[in-house]
Structures are given as C-alpha cells and as structure tokens.
C-alpha cells in the first residue's frame, strides 16, 4: 500500500493553488508532446497497423489537454478538501493520494517518448497498464476524501483503459516491433536521428 512520500511528491503549493494544479499537468503534457514532435507522432501513428476503433490523430491533442486540466482540478479539490479536514485519516488519504498522483503523472509523461520516440511498444504497454492501475487506486483513495475529485478523474481513467487497448493491440498487430516499419529517408538530415521514415507513411495532406 503506497503511503505519502514527500521526496517524490509534487510540492504542497502546487496542489493548493488551482491555477498551478491545472497548469502543471497541462504544461508537462504539451511540453512532452512538442518535444517528441507532432509531425513525427502523426506519421508514426498512421504508419502502424492499428486495431478497430482507433481515433483520428487530431483527436488526441484536445482530448489529452482536457484530461490534464480535469486531472489537475481533481488534485486541487482533493487537496484543499482533505487538508481542511479535522479527521486524521482523511488527511492521510489526501497525502497518500498526492504521492500516487505524482507517480501517475510521471508514468503518463514518459509513455509518449517510449512509444513514439524510442519505439518500444512492450515497455510502453507495460507503462500504460501500470499507469491505469495506479490511477484506478488513486481514484479510489481520493473518492474517500472528495467524491467530486474522484468524478473528475473518471473520464481520465476511462480514457486510460482505451489507451491501454490501443497500445497493447497496436504492439501485437505490429509484432511488438516498430523498427521494421522504417526505411532510409531521402532527407538530408542524416545522423540527426531524423534520417528514417516509415515505409507506409501516409502522404502529406496539402
């Protein structure tokens, strides 16, 4: 059972401030997305064999931004409700949830580089399975502090279940190997890590 671990938990000030609580996950998510590269991410997504019900790539940006905002608001609600409680058990659950929240945010942030940049579907799928489990437990813990916070996490938890399906199924359909979808590119960016492209990359829309 995870307990409160201050050394790996976001500072109290982030949880206590609504703007900071929302902007931190939104900013981290957007930052990782842009560091991996929207164009590269889209090309990789379209190149791989995908399971049924895959969304179009343009859905992911708005969906994740909304979910990060809801996640942050849930953290703010749970923290402010729990730290104001007169019951020691509620305060303990609040802080325990803060550690779980930080862990799941870290797992969330590293999934995209694992999947799209490093092209490690096995590790990415293990990551999202663990992330879903941690978030489910977090939702349970914070539901005992503030039901509104738990409901704010419900869409995120549902989306993680869908993301787990997409990650695992995509890895399976591509034999758990994304590297064989690449070929040498005609680009002049040799040696920069950008000198490969996927053989079945969708043509650019003009």
- pTM of the predicted protein model: 0.87
* Location of structure tokens 């749970």: 78
**pLDDT tens per residue, range 99-141:** 999 999 999 999 999 998 889 999 999 999 999 999 999 999 9
pLDDT of residue 202: 47
Dist. CA 53–CA 50, nearest whole Å? 9
pLDDT of residue 111: 95
Please, which residues have CB within 8 angstroms of residue 95's CB and are 6 or more apart in sequence? 4, 9, 82
**pLDDT tens per residue, range 149-189:** 999 999 999 999 999 999 999 999 999 998 866 544 444 44
Q: Hey, which residues does 54 pair with through a beta bridge?
A: none
**pLDDT tens per residue, range 9-46:** 999 999 999 999 999 999 999 999 888 877 777 777 88
pLDDT of residue 180: 66
């Amino acid at each position: 059972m995870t307990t409160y671990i201050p050394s790996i938990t976001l500072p109290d000030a982030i949880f206590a401030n609504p703007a900071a609580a929302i902007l931190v996950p939104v900013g981290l998510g957007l930052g990782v997305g842009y560091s991996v590269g929207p164009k590269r991410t889209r090309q990789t997504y379209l190149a791989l064999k995908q399971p049924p019900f895959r969304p179009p790539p343009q859905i992911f940006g708005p969906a994740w931004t909304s979910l990060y905002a809801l996640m942050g608001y849930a953290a703010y609600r749970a923290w402010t409700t729990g730290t104001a409680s007169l019951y020691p058990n509620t305060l303990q659950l609040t802080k325990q949830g803060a550690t779980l929240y930080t862990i799941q945010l870290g797992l969330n942030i590293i999934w995209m580089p694992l999947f799209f940049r490093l092209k490690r579907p096995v590790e990415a799928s293990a990551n999202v399975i663990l992330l879903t489990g941690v978030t489910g437990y977090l939702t349970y813990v914070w539901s005992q502090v503030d039901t509104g916070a738990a409901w704010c996490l419900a869409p995120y938890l549902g989306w993680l279940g869908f993301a787990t399906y997409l990650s695992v199924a995509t890895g399976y359909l591509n034999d758990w190997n994304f590297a064989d979808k690449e070929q040498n590119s005609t680009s002049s960016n040799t040696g920069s890590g950008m000198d490969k492209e996927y053989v079945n990359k969708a043509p650019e829309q003009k």
